[in-house]
Structure 1
Amino acid sequence: MGLLSRFRKARPDDIVDEDEVLARLSANSELQRQRVQADLQRDIARATALKIDAIEAAMAADMFDDPEPAFRRPPRPAPTPDRQDGNTLPLLDGAVTELLGEDETPAEAAAAERAPVVEEAALLYAGGDHDAARQLLSAAVADDAHPAGRRDRTAWWMLFDLYHVLGEQEAFDDLAIDYASTFETSPPTWQPPPTGNGDSYSGVAPTVQFSGVLDERVLPQAERLRAAATAPVLRVDFSRVQAVTPAGCPALLEALRAVAPQRELLLAGAEELVGQLRALLDVGRRDEGEAPWLLLLELLRLLNREKAFEETAMDYCVTFEMSPPAFVAPGNVASTPRQASAPPTDRYMLPQVIEGDTAPLLAAIRAYAGQGTALVFDCSHLLRVDFAGGNQLLACLRVLAAENGPRRIELRELNHLVAAVLRLLGFADVARLFPHRY
């Protein structure tokens, strides 16, 4: 029986389907293969992530361990005996634009102001030949065969300004990438031209100067700002502010909010004031009250710093447990760095173009000159000066420079194309030229 039992017919439950076994083995094998492949992909992803982290760490070390190359300041000429009265500034020599303090031109750029390519491009631009000036400047900044000339920043700045005049943001941004690569520094950023009627305005732009410590004694300065808030163009200057206290913030905040939104507003030194306000505040601390926080938010809004505004708004919300103000685009607002060396006087804003017959403009300038001894011209809207108009303006300034004086005359916020033209015409003999800073 035992032997026969071994050879008995298999019962249905004991029958094994060979195809089914093979299918199960195949499925198990495929599942195992997929698991191995998934583990392998995870290992590759981890290795890739570690490699990326290592590369980013190395790049960060290169960026932050090596200090950015600093501009060298050109040496200042020794004052002459007839310039010791303290009311006038030493005139420029024929070769460079000598600036004061934070307005100084880098030595590299000052040396290039008389370079042949700069002068030729200035001549072409003054004559209205924008295309030829563009080709010349583009060739200069791309000339790898002459690396010394390629590193003359004046040609780069002139080309940046030309792209801005022409409204070519894409070309501006492409040049900014090359600029950052060439000079290993932060490139200029595109600034859209002001909107509204400010561009067409020519005339006196009232200046409200804030100075010293902004504390409870700031009220008279804030009242002057409120009184001038309806001017077509208004300049608010914080360049001489040394410190700010919580007590001075409410009055300044109310005055800034009173400025009509359709007016053109020019801010000087606002970035520095933002830094002073940040130093006052800590997230979660309410000792200073809401006013410093709200003033900081208002300045960030006017500077169109939306990301910084939103981050500060979150800090305000955490600190006071209430909803912060919403960001509203500022509109017609421009900003310039602090200008501590500029005289605290109303400025005359020059028009977009000075060409041909300038008799009405010169009459208005002479009327402006009767208001004080220092003449400061805002050139932030000035796009081009031709030779006929430039020579007429120069003759007028020569006469004004000799009155009440010698008289202090400054042309500020020049674009670098116009600055080169004015140097060629001889404006440096009678006025100080301050190109805007990149």
Structure 2
Amino acid sequence: MTAASATPALPTTRPAGCPFDPPGSYGELRETEPVSRVRCPAGMDAWLVTRYQDVRAVLADRALSSRGASSVHVNPNADLDEEVSPGSIIQLDGAEHSRLRKKVIAEFTVRRVEALRGYVQELVESHLDAMLAKPGQADLVADFALPIPSLVICELLGVPYADRSRFQRQSGLLVSTDATPEEGKQAYDELSALMAELFTDKRRNPRDDLFSRLISRGESDGDPLSTEELVVLGLSLLVAGHETTANMIALSALVLMEQPAQRDVVLARPERAVEELLRYLSVVQFGVLRYATSDVEVGGRAVKAGEWLVAALNSANRDEELFPGGDKLDFDRESPRTHVAFGFGAHQCVGQQLARVELQEALTRLFRRVPGLRLSVPRESLAFKHNTLVYGVRELPVAWG
């Protein structure tokens, strides 16, 4: 392994004054060294993969394990040898992963998600009513972007309303690289206990929700999920189901406040606009980690068994070879849906259709109801989430009228 002093650090710093762009070195790396050695905050060296085609190849290769896919490479306190928990749909590989994914994927089909669109619309409108009842100013994160996807995923999964604010608070600690090991463990333990109680209740009192159906389906097909599997799976779906979408809503709104001419395109063609925003913003900011279980070749580089790779999604989504003028938001772009914002391959995000519906409804209804929406503070004063696995803005003070 390359000595730490001779290996450059994993790029994590965005260009000054360009909060929507990935680290500036990614463009040069794609041209000169698309598969390069970097030193990660967790203390190990890895191959950083920056070109679109190479990133897709990495994510599709079954020889590259997903066991570190919770981005442990950016956590200084990471245990790289920690055993993957049963039920971890993000980290398990092979037959174990396929078993879990088959149980869950039916809940996120286009048809089932479309059936939720009316609920999403009502939720968006009610939050806009509450926001507009304020005296001309609000925090678009706390008042709009954060609660909507949280309430949607909790409704889908069957989390009681009384537990939802507690879930939001603790899940934020799970995706922060600044949280101490003690804070992270406390958040995980509290959410795990909440999940265990929830599943005990649903076994006794099944309802019309995803968790109840998972339990019922497992009992009927002779392949029930254990409580431990359900808890870990539930936490994965809950955290993934609201963190990425909440940050996408807020960042997208900020982009559109800075480029008001683009709002008409969003209102007229929301599906296409959302795909381009997903590509442009790529909120999973530190990439996706993979572990080589055998010798492979990536972008002409020999990767040996036992080595790590970081697939830089935000770099792949700016690759000029596939996305000409990739650093520009372009709603007329050809084939914007080829982006890798949701990953690729066997571990591609199961909830991507739900995220699309939430983004479409949130953005179109926001700018239709509040056409004069504007930032009420200088952009330079905003605090961005440079230290969380999912990029976003902590607060977004807005005004109207």
Please, what TM-score do these two structures have when normalized by structure 1? 0.29
Larger radius of gyration: 1
Higher relative contact order (CA 8 A, sep 6+): 2
Please, what TM-score do these two structures have when normalized by structure 2? 0.31
